[in-house]
Amino acid sequence: MLMQYAAVGILFCGAVFFACAALIVSRLLQTHNPYKEKCMTYECGMLPIGDAWVRFKPSYYITGLIFLLFDVEMMFLLPWAVSFTEMGFAALAEMFVFIGILAVGLIYAWKEGALEWH
């Protein structure tokens, strides 16, 4: 049993070694020649206007998190829908509970104004 863990440990150490070796070799072989145009902020080929440090409204992040929540929901819902006929009534009830919890979260976010785009 311990030999199986040793194999995993050896693979992990090898992965760390190769990752570190690639970073070190890359650092040793790269050329370092900074100049003004190279250090400028890139904005789709146009000259940058203003400061590169722009503050984003927190509503962008909240909208992104809500999108991520429902994206992960679809990740769980799709395999369930594919094998729905084989699982029976208990799986249907569990999925309704899961969707209900997400619906309550969506209603809460809606009431708090997280979906308002000012």
CATH numbers and ranges of domains, the chain: 2-112 (1.20.58)
Question: Residue 63 contacts by C-beta under 8 Å, 6 or more apart in sequence?
Answer: 114, 115, 117
pLDDT, tens digit, 9 for 90 and up, residues 105-116: 889 888 988 778
Does the pLDDT value for residue 85 go beyond 90?
no
Question: Which one is predicted more confidently, 17 or 82?
Answer: 17
Q: For residue 68, give the 3-state DSSP assignment.
A: helix
What value does the mean pLDDT take over residues 26-51?
A: 78
Alpha-carbon distances of 12 from 17, 20, 25, rounded to whole Å:
9, 12, 20
Rounded CA separation 89/20 (Å): 51
The answer to whether the predicted template modeling score (pTM) of the entire model surpasses 0.75 is: no
Rounded CA separation 98/105 (Å): 11
